[in-house]
Structure 1
């Protein structure tokens, strides 16, 4: 017996699906189709045994408890049983502000920066032994300990003077010794802002000024000593010259020079002179005409 769903029965009874019902079901089918496509795509990606590690990144693959590191590039990993953890191998920065002691027992606020990066060859060991948060678990406490230990042996003045570079190098070397074997490469350690107690800052400024004044005074005294030595040498030179000249002048030389001078005056057409005998020590006495008139009027 024909059923009601038979097309012939439907044709005889006139019971056909309405066009409105058919048209309203089309959007639902389209949405359902796209949902199925998205689900299948995600499942496909999840099942793909491929992972991509970008530049400056180290991949750590954990497969059934075994840990290995993979470098940047495309890698095939077993699905479902593997997990890929991506860790940065680029330069990173640790910034810290610590209250540190000095050799004098003073508390100083010091801002420090530690530049570091992950050793790619030891990324698997770090993840296995420490995990992803190695920066806070290892680097931060080690850096704080090294800085406090080294500054405790230094004067406060060294933190803002030439000793600052030495402190930085000492902290850097200590961190390198402790951390590089564990897979953390220390690039540099920088001491930034230093805040001293106000009383200490004033005392240090006064001490620095006194030291500078002492250096200046020492320079002045040295200069004066050199000037006194110069004058002494100059006076000795003059005395030696006078001794040489005195020892070289004789009575006969003076008489001869007197004769030469008398001869020059006598031969001068513009000078009227009178030569009157000899003076002391047989030297001629030279008188001008004006001197002769003065003597006559006396």
Structure 2
């Protein structure tokens, strides 16, 4: 009985030590995450093997695992850049990105967990300054927004592709100009729209006038041709034909009297 405490204490100590070791060694990688293993006594960051996948893992207690989110992420950024004529423009953009899974160890070793702040965001700002500097405020405000978005994406991707970052998209959500510049552009666009509307009306009126001239000319030509073909003999023959048709109608009660030199007969009643 006296030896029981002497046996129990080491057992308890070993049990506690085991619990601590297991708790330090057990690593759970969540959904959409991956782990980078750092071996304290065996070369540091593991870069020659794929990262640790989702699930439960046991590692030596003196090693450490750095967990990264490898799903697509979004980062919103506001930037003040200069246009081609030196005016300050605010760009609100979102970047869709994720670390490259197969080289996650190199990303951690060379760029660290702060790769977004150290690599991605500076690359986006640099690309935005370069792209926006090629356009005027009017182009940024109206016609070139989609082109600017695509150019910022391409230039940013060229920077980060060899930095172990996968850039999926850059979305330009808003372009904010100084109020005076925006108002001036809106006035100019309104004036241009009014001018285009006036020009459209002129063209429409000219086409309508041309149509009326063509129709009038056609009628005049038809009347001239008809007048040239109507002789006195033709008119007299047509009058006789009309009189005969009226006379042959059983229900007609018509009086037709010739006039001028036509000499048309007189018809009374239905006989």
Please indicate the TM-score interval, normalised by the length of the shorter structure: 0.7 to 0.9
Cα distance change on mapping 1:215 and 1:274 into 2, 3 Å:
closer
After superposition, what is the alpha-carbon deviation per residue over 1:83-131, rounded to whole angstroms, capped at 9, x for unaligned?
2111111222222212111122211122221111111112111111111
Q: CA separation in 2, counterparts of 1:227 and 1:145?
A: 56
1:103 paired residue number: 84
1:234 paired residue number: 215
Runs of at least 5 residues in structure 1 that lack an aligned partner in the other structure: 1-32, 288-298
Q: CA separation in 2, counterparts of 1:147 and 1:94?
A: 15
Alpha-carbon offset, residue 151 of structure 1? 0.5
2:59 paired residue number: 77
Q: CA separation in 1, counterparts of 2:131 and 2:153?
A: 11
Cα distance change on mapping 1:272 and 1:166 into 2, 3 Å:
closer
Alpha-carbon offset, residue 198 of structure 1? 1.5
Q: How many residues are treated as equivalent by the alignment?
A: 250
Runs of at least 5 residues in structure 2 that lack an aligned partner in the other structure: 1-10, 267-271
2:21 paired residue number: 43
Q: Secondary structure at the match of 1:99?
A: strand
TM-score w.r.t. length of structure 1: 0.73
Given the alignment, which residue of 227, 234, 246 partners 2:227? Answer: 246
TM-score w.r.t. length of structure 2: 0.80
Cα pair 1:143 1:175 within 8 Å, conserved:
yes
1:294 paired residue number: none
2:7 paired residue number: none
User: Is 1:284 equivalent to 2:266 in the alignment?
Assistant: no
Please identify the structure whose Cα radius of gyration is greater: 1
User: Is 1:61 equivalent to 2:37 in the alignment?
Assistant: yes
Q: Secondary structure at the match of 1:85?
A: strand
1:134 paired residue number: 115
Alpha-carbon offset, residue 76 of structure 1? 4.6
Q: CA separation in 2, counterparts of 1:170 and 1:139?
A: 16
* Greater relative contact order (CA < 8 Å, ≥ 6 in sequence): 2
Cα distance change on mapping 1:228 and 1:35 into 2, 3 Å:
farther
After superposition, the CA RMSD in angstroms is 3.0
Cα pair 2:75 2:96 within 8 Å, conserved:
yes
